[in-house]
Amino acid sequence: MRHYRLTLSCPDRPGIIAAVSAFIAAHGGTIGESASHSEPDTRHFFMRQEILAASLPFGADGFRERFSAIASGFNMQWNISDSAQKKRMVMLASKQDHCLADLLYRWRSKEFDFDIPCVISNHEDLRSLAEWHGIPYIHVPLGPENKPAGHVKILDLCRQHKADAIVLARYMQILPDAFCAAYPNRIINIHHGLLPAFVGARPYHQAFERGVKQIGATCHYVTAELDAGPIIEQDVIRVDHSEAVEDLIRLGRDVEKTVLSRGVRYHVEDRVLVHGERTVVFR
């Protein structure tokens, strides 16, 4: 059913839940899902609620207008979104197809609601995959001589396609600082390693050399600092001494696509609240 998603964070103090619930109840609203979290060390409060749209006498704009006084009184950072307005997720990919193929399958099967206006890549390898799904594929070559200009073009394409967020589905390029700044907490990356360990290139090789007993993948928001953005989701799989680097890579692919799909889902459903370098994720 169509619903509005209210997300908020603010300094913790008594009465926040009561004030929000009383506001919704006063307008006849029905809360379909509710979650909250308080961090005792920082004394910060986080909340996410799903409110049935049909139960309110006004839309999202009317909610914003009426709720702003309460939000101001508690010094809230908050947002209200409409589930009927699908987020537009531009996909960036390179040559490896497992993460992109998994997301395209979930999109086609309507496993969770989002739109993919286009796939952008620095290679031609995945064109047939995207176009089989009926999604425009845009090739932007990135060589040593034109990489800055190429990323300017990609950023412009994301804006032209009105991207709400950008997904790096094993896009094996480092985004420039200006690109990251244009979409704060809206660029979602999958790193084929369990951050903060094994940052950068060839994390499976790094893991093999250290003789780890489990490998993992990390979905995180992209910042100017490489592989250091707020973490959305992680998972692991156990390995042992009998497995070569190629085995770690093969096993890791399954973890990567699962972790990325979860991270994208959490973002699409407004389940991720960023606070500094940390996230609160209401699963």
Active site members: 227
Of 26, 35, 27, 28, nearest to 6 by C-alpha is: 35
- CB of 207 closer than 8 Å to CB of 230: no
The single residue listed with the structure tokens 């800055």 is 148
- CB of 229 closer than 8 Å to CB of 221: yes
Q: How many residues does the chain have?
A: 283
Cα 265 off chain centre by: 7
How are beta strands 272-275 and 278-281 bridged, if at all? antiparallel
Q: Residue 5 corresponds to which amino acid?
A: R
- CB of 80 closer than 8 Å to CB of 3: no
